[in-house]
């Protein structure tokens, strides 16, 4: 059985970024390599909030970023998800002035996703926040996905 991966907004953004600083170029190349070699080993999902964020931006390659996710199943935003997002904001897991990251975490947690794949290391793939996230999710009786970047989700060998 394949493990489940939620694709957050930064993944298609970094896949198609045109920025040229060395760190971003490296992240773009890791993202492209993961997409080309690893994604087939997982059940991918994303959500309407990802599409909303991608379509709301004003940047080169926006349409290509949106198109990268074509055909990937969407996790449904329900009133329960909205309630979880409110709890996350109340417990300061995510900034209350921008709830997009809270929606990504709520969706991945509620639907029992194994990995939330992101380059957002401030609000999501941040080891300093993981314990707090796990504690709140435990209170909500939700499973906490592993919050990770593509560079940490490669197979060790072809036999895996």
Helices (H), 16-156: 22-37, 48-56, 62-68, 79-90, 100-110, 127-139
Domain residue extents for the chain: 3-152
Q: Encode pLDDT of 56-70 as tens digits.
A: 978 889 899 999 999
The CATH code of domain 3-152 reads 3.40.50.1010
Distances (CA, A) of 150 to 37, 45, 118, 133: 11, 15, 7, 20
Distance separating alpha carbons of residues 100 and 50, to the nearest angstrom: 8
Q: Encode pLDDT of 114-140 as tens digits.
A: 999 999 988 898 988 999 999 999 999
Number of H helices, E strands in the chain: 7, 5
pTM: 0.94
Buried b / exposed e along 29-65 (16+ C-beta atoms within 10 A): ebbeebbeeebeebebbbbebbbebbeeeeeeebeeb
């Amino acid at each position: 059985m394949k493990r489940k991966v939620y694709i957050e907004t930064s993944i298609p953004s970094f896949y198609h970024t045109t920025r040229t600083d060395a760190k971003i170029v490296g992240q773009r190349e890791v993202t492209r390599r993961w997409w080309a070699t690893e994604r087939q080993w997982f059940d991918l999902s994303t959500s309407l909030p990802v599409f909303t964020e991608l379509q709301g931006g004003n940047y080169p390659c926006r349409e290509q970023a949106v198109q990268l996710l074509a055909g990937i199943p969407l996790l449904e935003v329900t009133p329960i998800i909205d309630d979880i997002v409110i709890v996350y904001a109340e417990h300061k897991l995510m900034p209350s002035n921008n709830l997009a990251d809270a929606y990504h975490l709520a969706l991945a947690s509620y639907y029992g996703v194994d990995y939330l794949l992101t380059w957002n290391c401030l609000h999501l793939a941040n080891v300093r926040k993981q314990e707090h996230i796990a504690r709140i999710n435990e209170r909500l009786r939700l499973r906490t996905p592993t919050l990770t970047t593509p560079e940490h989700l490669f197979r060790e060998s072809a036999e895996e």
